[in-house]
């Protein structure tokens, strides 16, 4: 089952500038930075009391984040929810007609197994499900 909101992801044109703005102007601390090479994305995580903010920058123009930023100039990209049984949640949601962007989960940031629900299945919002136990 879904147990928590893990993070809110924001696509940005410049990760360095966005990190500086979040630290300097909002007073937040950057917990970590990472790169997910097979998704062509660099990221920074900002912990908050009950969730995190994830900043995303494309490392390739034709990546999903690159296309998003080119089309929209940046903005909220997705919401990520933690699952305590990812495979069961995927099967349950598929049985209810939800469409996913991939057939199977893949390894995302932090080494967690993740999968994305197509925005058409969720009122226009891209939803990421991440395994709690990985």
Mean pLDDT on 126-134: 89
Indicate the average pLDDT of the chain.
95
CA 38 to chain centre: 14
Contact 21, 12 (CB under 8 A): no
> What are the structural domain ranges in the chain?
2-131
pTM for the structure as a whole? 0.92
Contact 112, 105 (CB under 8 A): no
pLDDT in tens, 15-59: 999 999 999 999 999 999 999 999 999 999 999 999 999 999 999
pLDDT for 110 equals 83
Domain 2-131 = CATH 3.10.180.10 = yes
């Amino acid at each position: 089952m879904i147990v928590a909101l893990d993070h809110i992801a924001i696509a940005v044109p410049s990760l360095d500038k966005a990190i500086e703005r979040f630290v300097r102007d909002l007073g937040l601390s950057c917990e970590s930075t990472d790169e997910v090479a097979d998704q062509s994305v660099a990221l920074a995580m900002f912990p908050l009391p009950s969730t995190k903010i994830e900043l995303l920058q494309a490392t390739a123009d034709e990546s999903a984040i690159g296309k998003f930023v080119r089309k929209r100039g940046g903005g909220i990209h997705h919401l990520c929810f933690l699952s305590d049984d990812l495979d069961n949640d995927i099967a349950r949601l598929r049985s209810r007609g939800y469409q996913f962007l991939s057939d199977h989960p893949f390894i995302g940031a932090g080494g967690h197994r993740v999968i994305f629900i197509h925005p058409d299945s969720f009122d226009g919002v891209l939803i990421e499900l991440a395994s709690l136990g990985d």
